[in-house]
Each structure stands twice: as C-alpha cells, then as structure tokens.
Amino acid sequence: MKGSVLATLAFQCAMLSLLAFGGGVNTVVPELQRQAVDVHHWMDARTFSDLFAIAQASPGPNMLIVCLVGLKAAGLAGALVATIAATVPTCLLTFVMSGFWDRIRNSPWRAVVQGGLAPVAVGLIAASAFLISRAADHAPALIAVTVGTAAFCYFTKRNPLWALAAAAALGLTGVVS
C-alpha cells in the first residue's frame, strides 16, 4: 500500500515538474490539488491550502509544496520521494539543454514558443489563485485577508513576507478566523 503511494507520488511529481513551464509551481497547483485531494484523497482542500501557505511562507523554491504533499501522503519517505522526483527530471533537462543554449539563442522559434505558452501559464496561475483562495476563504474576514494581500502585493513592490507575517499575526490573535 505504502509502496504504491510512493510510486504514485514519484510519478505525479516528476510529471508535474516537467509540465511546470513559465510560471514555476503555480501553473501546476490546480493539477497537484486535483491529484492530492480529488483523485488520491491524501488530504482535504483546506489542508492543501494550509500546506501551500506554509510553502509560500518558507524560504526556498515554492515548488517545495510537493515536499509537504509527500509528507502528508506518506510521511518522511513520501516527502523525500516527492522532492527528488520533482527535482531530478527538470535538472537533467536543464543540464543537457544549457549545453545547447548558444545554438538556440537566436532561433525564431524560441520567441514563438515563449509567446505562445505565456498566456496558457497565466490562465493556469489564475486557476491556482481561485482554487487556493476558495479552499482557504471560509469566512468573510479571511476573504478580506486574501483581497488585502493581493492588493498589497500588486500595488507595492514590498516583500510579500510582510503581508504573510501580518496575516499570521491576525490569525494567531484571533482577529480573523
């Protein structure tokens, strides 16, 4: 049973990391949430949103959400398997491709691929924003936190950590819940 969970984690994380074009992990959050919550029932949507928040509030690549999904699904072994599976394939690809980089630098198809995939990535990130917020915002005060954080991050150039810290303080003191 556990072995099959680990195999599923490894496969899903490797596939998702290879599909994560252009916007980092946010483009694959809808699929990661679908797999973890709807398909495999490793957690409910609210737990997923909480884990996503922890990954956002921690230092390092946001892709480490897969580490927490693995931890919840199959303990420490799951966390390590998920992290390695999400890292190794893209790293191998980068290792090989960075050797060819000079050759494709001036190729016209590079601009076509970038221009064509950018709006797809944005649509997927918008879907992530919707799914994360819908699972997290189960009270009016929490909707206000989401809107406030979005406005703070969109309209100012300050470190988003300030908004996360303010939200954590509000939550800890029971002002929002």
Partner 1 sequence: MARTILACLRIHAHNRIMTSHPDPAEQTPSLFELYLGFAQISVSAFGGALPWARRILVDQRGWMDPEDFASTLALCQFLPGPNVVNLSIAFGRRLHGWAGALAAVFGLMAAPVVIILTLGGLYLRFGQIGSLKGMFAALGAAAGGLVVATAAQMAVPLIRKTPMTAVPIIVAGFVLAGLLRWPLPAVMAVLAPVGLLLARRRRT
User: Hey, which residues between 84 and 123 contact partner 1 (CB under 8 A)?
Assistant: 87, 90-91, 93-95, 97-99, 101, 105, 108, 110-123
Q: Which is nearer to partner 1, 7 or 91 (CB)?
A: 91
Residues ≥6 apart with Cβ < 8 Å to 152 = 158, 160, 162, 163
Q: Is 19 in the site for partner 1 (CB under 8 A)?
A: yes
Q: Is 172 in the site for partner 1 (CB under 8 A)?
A: yes
43-62 residues in contact with partner 1 (CB under 8 A) are: 46, 49-62
Total of residues contacting partner 1 (CB under 8 A): 111
3-state secondary structure at position 156 = coil
C-alpha of 110 from chain center: 25
Applying CB under 8 A, among 3, 38, 41, 103 the residue interacting with partner 1 is 38
Q: Between the CA of residue 58 and those of 52, 62, 77, 137, 157, what are the distances in Å? A: 10, 8, 20, 21, 19
Q: Is 7 in the site for partner 1 (CB under 8 A)?
A: no
Among 72, 12, 70, 79, smallest CA distance to 44 is for 72
126: tokens are 């918008």
Task: Provide the residue type at 104 as one letter.
Answer: I
Beta carbon of residue 85, minimum distance to partner 1 (angstroms, whole number): 12
Beta carbon of residue 40, minimum distance to partner 1 (angstroms, whole number): 13
